[in-house]
Structure 1
C-alpha cells in the first residue's frame, strides 16, 4: 500500500498530497531558500512530480520564479509556502513543515558553503549540490 501524506498552506485554502517515498530529504542553506523561508535553513523533501497532487485550492496557488531552477508556489490568500518546482531536476520540493505527518529523516545538507547556521549533526555537508544534479558533489567539514 502506498503511503500518502496530506499537507496544506498556512490558511488551509490549498491542500496537497504526496504519495510514496520522497527521493531525498535534507536541509538547504542557500541564500535564496533562507530569504524565501525567512529562516536560517530550509528543510526540504524532494518528490517526483507525479507523487505530488494539489487536492484543493489550485486556483489559489501563485508561482514566483526568481531563477529558472526554482518555481516557488504559495497560497495567494495567506502567503503560505507550499512547494517549489525544480523542473530542471525533475523534482518538486514540498517543504517539510507543509506535510506534518511525514517523518522527516534528513540525509544531507546542500549549499552548506552559504550557511549562516552551522549544524553539527553528522550528516554530509555538500558545498553546493550532488554531482548527479549538476553540483560539484564536494563536501565540507562540519
Structure 2
C-alpha cells in the first residue's frame, strides 16, 4: 500500500484507533432496519473496504463484537460504546461507518435497502430495493 491513501479512524472516546488504506469498494447510505437500529439513526452512512485494508492501531483489546446473524459482525468500543465497523464475511467486506473516519472525503454513490427507509432522501443517487446484484441483492432500482 505504498501510494495508497490512509485514513484515520477512531471510536467516540479514542480508546480504539484504526486506519483504512486504499480505496473503498463502495460508499453510500443504508436504510435497512438493522443498520438504523444499530446506529440509532434514520440512515447509516457506510464505506465498504476489503478486510485487509482495515488495521487496528490502538486498543484492540477494547473491541467488542455482536452478531445477530452470521452475515454481520458488529464491532464497538467496550470503553465508550462507540461503534467502529461491521464485518460482512459473506461479502468479503468490512463496513467502516463514515462517521468514525476522521479525514475521509465521503462521497456517497448509492442508497441500499431503500424500501425500508424512514427518511426519504431526494439527492439523485440510485435507490436500490435491497443490494446491487454483485453483492447478492436483486439489483432492482426504485424510484426516488
Q: State yes or no: 1:103 paired with 2:124.
A: no
Q: Secondary structure at the match of 2:87?
A: strand
- Counterpart CA distance in 2 for 1:97 and 1:133 is 23
- Give aligned pairs, total: 142
- 1:4 and 1:134 map into 2 onto residues whose CA distance is 29
Determine if contact 2:74/2:87 at 8 Å carries over to the other structure.
Answer: yes
Task: Give the TM-score normalised by the residue count of structure 1.
Answer: 0.99
* Matched position secondary structure for 1:6: strand
Compute the displacement of 1:134 (Å): 1.1
- Per-residue CA deviations over 1:34-63 (Å, capped at 9, x if unaligned) read 000000000000000000000000000000
Please name the residue that 1:27 is paired with: 29
Divergent runs of 4+, >4 A: none
Q: What does 1:1-142 align with in structure 2 at a 5 Å threshold?
A: 1-142=3-144
Q: Deviations over 1:98-117 (max 9, x none)?
A: 00200001010000010000
Which digits, 9 at most, give the CA deviation of each residue in 1:65-91, with x for residues without a partner? 011111000000100000000000000
RMSD: 0.5
Distance between the aligned counterparts of 1:8 and 1:100, measured in 2? 7
Task: Tell me the distance in 1 between the aligned counterparts of 2:14 and 2:7.
Answer: 15
Gaps of 5+ in 1: none
How far apart in 1 are the matches of 2:133 and 2:7? 29
CA contact (8 A) 2:75 2:84 kept: yes
